[in-house]
């Protein structure tokens, strides 16, 4: 990977599009660990964050990143509507993986008081609810960072079916180390590292987000079918809105 840029050039952000193109080409067949290690090398730990929901598959990416460097900052969006099991799972994984810098980010109280005083926005306007509880907090949380890592997979289909390994997020870089992995690869990471499952998996939740917008799935359904069930909505917006 001799053509990869040096840290100074990444942080100068002279040509984000060109940089993304180079990194995506160089990392197209790389392993998740190689992608995380490269992101760390070219961006630097102080400028790189992992964004994790601490959901049903999150431990795999957190394990990979912790093996590279457990001090990489991890941003966790605590929307105020999460299951208690997810908050407990966050704490379990922090202890299990030795994560040293997990930042639980909450929506601004003044925004909630103004835009969602009755906590019914998830029902009346879920896009607006996701905007104030996820997208805006993420934009704030990512302000100090030059690049972020997330756990989306192509096998999840829909808008995720064609994600690149590295993409442009405004002036920021976005790394998708699991773009190429299969469900079996994820299961293998869990098995090999003996990672604890999310507590709600045993009761039929294949994918876990906020309480009002998450339901169980049957064995034949897509894993994300229980998210915003009955609505056209399939994404919360953090991956479809530029963070810078």
Task: Catalog residues that contact ligand SF4 under the rule CB under 6 A.
Answer: 79, 81, 122, 126, 129-130, 133-134, 209-210, 212-213, 236
Closest distance of CB 154 from ligand SF4, Å: 22
The structure tokens 């997990």 sit at 102
Report CA-CA distances (Å) from 50 to 37, 102, 223.
12, 9, 22
For residue 181 the two structure tokens come to: 């992995």
**Chain residue whose CB lies nearest ligand SF4:** 210
Taking residue 59's Cβ as centre, other Cβ atoms within 10 Å add up to 26
Please count the other Cβ atoms lying within 10 Å of the Cβ belonging to residue 233: 14
The residues near 66 (Cβ < 8 Å, ≥ 6 apart) are 97, 98, 99
**Do residues 19 and 4 touch, judged by C-beta distance below 8 A?**
no
Which structure tokens are listed for 73? 């900052």
Joined tokens for residue 19: 């940089």
Smallest gap from Cβ 208 to ligand SF4, in A, equals 11
Total length of the chain: 244
Based on CB atoms, which residue is closest to ligand SF4, 180 or 217?
217
Q: Can you tell me the distance from the alpha carbon of 132 to that of 154, in angstroms, rounded to the nearest whole number?
A: 27
Q: Give the whole-angstrom CA distance, residue 3 versus residue 208.
A: 39
Residues forming the active site: 236
Start-to-end C-alpha separation, the chain: 28
Output 37 or 132, the one with its CB closest to ligand SF4: 132
Rg (CA), the chain: 17
């Amino acid at each position: 990977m001799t053509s990869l840029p040096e840290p100074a050039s990444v942080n100068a952000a002279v040509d984000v599009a060109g940089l993304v193109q180079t990194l995506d080409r160089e990392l197209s067949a790389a392993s998740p660990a190689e992608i995380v290690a490269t992101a760390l090398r070219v961006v630097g730990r102080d400028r790189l964050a992992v964004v994790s929901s601490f959901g049903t598959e999150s431990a795999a990416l957190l394990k990979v990143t912790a093996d590279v460097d457990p001090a990489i900052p991890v941003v966790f969006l605590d929307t105020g509507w999460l299951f208690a099991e997810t908050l407990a799972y966050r704490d379990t994984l922090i202890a299990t993986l030795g994560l040293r810098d997990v930042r639980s980010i909450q929506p601004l109280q003044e925004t909630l008081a103004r835009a969602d005083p009755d906590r019914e926005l998830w029902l009346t306007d879920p896009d607006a609810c996701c905007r104030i509880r996820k997208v805006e907090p993420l934009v704030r949380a990512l302000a100090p960072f030059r690049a972020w890592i997330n756990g989306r997979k192509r096998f999840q289909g829909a808008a995720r079916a064609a994600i690149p390994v590295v993409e442009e997020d405004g002036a920021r870089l976005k790394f998708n180390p699991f773009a190429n992995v299969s469900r079996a690869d994820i299961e293998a990471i869990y098995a090999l590292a003996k990672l604890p499952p999310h507590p709600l998996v045993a009761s039929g939740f294949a994918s876990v987000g906020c309480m009002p917008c998450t339901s169980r799935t049957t064995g034949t359904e897509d894993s994300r079918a229980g998210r915003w069930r009955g609505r056209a909505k399939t994404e919360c917006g953090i991956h479809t809105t530029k963070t810078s």
